[in-house]
Amino acid sequence: MRITVLKETRPYERRVAMVPDVVAKLIQAGYEIGIETKAGEEAGFSDESYKDKGASIISSTKEAVEQADIVLKVQPPFVDEIKQFKNGSTFISFLAPGTYLNEIKAFSEKSITAFSLELLPRISRAQSMDALSSQATVSGYIATLTTALSLPKFFPMFMTAAGTVPPAKVFVMGAGVAGLQAIATARRLGANVRAYDVRPAAMEEVKSLGATFVTLDLESQAGEGGYAKEQSEEFLEKQQELMTDQLKASDVVITTAAIPGRPAPRLITKQMVEAMSNDSVIFDLAAESGGNCELSQPGETVIHKGVKIIGARNVPSQLPTHASFLLSRNLMELTLLMTKEGNFVPDFEDEIVSSTCVVKNGEIVNESAKKLLEGSN
């Protein structure tokens, strides 16, 4: 069977779905590998580096998908690209089934089986395939470095002949994978770090990184699968009221709160921004899904009353080499889970396989996508 990796066509995307080292492992498992020419170029991987590992280089998207039994990508292809796919083939990528409805419909019309990495269940057996977590690691790291360069102050404490410079005060909202990486990076840079999460279980992880866990007089909001549940308006209003003092005391605020498949919770209002010091910085990692901060805009830096608000847009793509390195291993592990004796044979009784499948042989099986498509007709 043939796996093909396509060049990314969505704006702002520099990652690639497979790095050369993974090529060799999948060939060893019995697959032929085709790489669309220049697919890895922006991530630092040349066509030659893929050929050296045994892949063939394909000159066009049309030729690549016509030959493919399985297509791997980071972002979904456009509808016109999907129309060129081989009937009955398989597609795996980040698919955001609540967003790319036209693409899902196009997969259905071509009898394609499509899997979405966002839908992977948070179970121990799936950790090696967890692309959301691997890319969140990159995001947390980039968020901290970006704010360090944007803040008109040092991050670490400096003791000099001219006097002592105190460390920057960093406040991280949300202690999932991205938040923990942001905390760890800020600590490595010498900042004074505090963090908050609606899940009390996150306290030990925050403390283990040398940060202070902020406790508010609020009930736990722990949800299923290790995520926070969606908060009520009443909870968010009380949280915002209690959080204002924390923002006032911060030089840098990094927000990471997200709920898969739903708009990001609004954690910081315009009024809360106005209460902050006029040389402080906010980095909103949830800007693309609605924003944790009321004023953030995806891919833009907004300055309000002197506060710099950086809206995230495809942050992992800013570190494409290592983001691709991690993502390609997630894709490899998921592909190998569905491989037996060199053949791709998904076991739809397996929780991982059934959870990630959005379209099965042309039938839309993801309930969320199915309802949205039915509602749009």
- Same domain for 162 and 295: yes
Angstrom distance (rounded) from CA 89 to CA 100: 19
From 28, 46, 127, 271, the catalytic residue? 127
CB-hemisphere CA count at 13 Å for 265? 24
Find the length of the chain: 377
- Same domain for 292 and 171: yes
Predicted confidence at residue 359, as pLDDT, reads 97
Neighbours of 366 (CB within 10 A): 22
**Known active-site residue 89:** no
Predicted confidence at residue 224, as pLDDT, reads 53
- Same domain for 282 and 143: yes
- CA distances from residue 214 to 89, 198, 229, 234 in whole angstroms, order as listed: 49, 10, 19, 20
Inside any domain, residue 133:
no
Residue 377: which pLDDT band, with cuts at 50, 70 and 90? Answer: low
- Same domain for 311 and 190: yes
168-194 pLDDT, tens per residue? 999 999 999 999 999 999 999 999 999
Inside any domain, residue 323:
no
Angstrom distance (rounded) from CA 360 to CA 344: 14
Partners of 71 in the β-ladder:
4, 91
- Same domain for 105 and 224: no
Supply the CATH number for residue 184's domain.
Answer: 3.40.50.720
Inside any domain, residue 168:
yes
3-state secondary structure of 369: helix
Predicted confidence at residue 231, as pLDDT, reads 60
Percent of the chain topping pLDDT 70 = 95
Short-list 188, 183, 229, 177, CA closest to 206: 183
82-93 pLDDT, tens per residue? 999 999 999 999
**Known active-site residue 133:** yes
> What's the whole-number average pLDDT of the chain?
92
Q: 221 or 71: whose pLDDT is higher?
A: 71
Locate the DSSP E strands across the chain.
2-5, 32-36, 56-58, 70-72, 90-93, 113-116, 158-160, 163-165, 169-173, 192-196, 212-213, 252-255, 281-284, 301-304, 307-311, 339-340, 343-344, 357-360, 363-364
Inside any domain, residue 333:
no
Predicted confidence at residue 306, as pLDDT, reads 96
Inside any domain, residue 376:
no
- Same domain for 74 and 182: no
Predicted confidence at residue 220, as pLDDT, reads 54
Angstrom distance (rounded) from CA 64 to CA 78: 15
- Same domain for 151 and 275: yes
**Known active-site residue 130:** yes
Q: Which amino acid is at 335?
A: T
Q: Which amino acid is at 138?
A: V
From 21, 56, 188, 227, the catalytic residue? 227
Predicted confidence at residue 227, as pLDDT, reads 53
318-328 pLDDT, tens per residue? 999 999 999 99
Neighbours of 83 (CB within 10 A): 12
Percent composition of the chain: helix, strand, coil (DSSP 3-state, to 5)? 40, 20, 40
Predicted confidence at residue 99, as pLDDT, reads 86
Percent of the chain topping pLDDT 90 = 82
From 75, 89, 133, 250, the catalytic residue? 133
**Known active-site residue 15:** no
Inside any domain, residue 134:
no
Predicted confidence at residue 200, as pLDDT, reads 84
- Same domain for 73 and 206: no
What is the extent of the structural domain holding 10?
2-119+338-371
- Same domain for 361 and 257: no
* pTM for the structure as a whole: 0.90
11-47 pLDDT, tens per residue? 999 999 999 999 999 999 999 999 999 999 999 999 9
- Same domain for 349 and 293: no
Inside any domain, residue 131:
no
- Same domain for 173 and 287: yes
In this model, does residue 223 exceed pLDDT 60?
no
Provide the domain count of the chain.
2
256-297 pLDDT, tens per residue? 998 776 788 889 999 999 999 999 999 999 999 999 999 999
From 122, 187, 188, 313, the catalytic residue? 122
- Same domain for 105 and 20: yes
From 130, 197, 251, 284, the catalytic residue? 130
Residue 215: which pLDDT band, with cuts at 50, 70 and 90? Answer: confident
110-151 pLDDT, tens per residue? 999 999 999 999 899 999 999 999 999 999 999 999 999 999
Q: Which two tokens stand for residue 299?
A: 């891919």
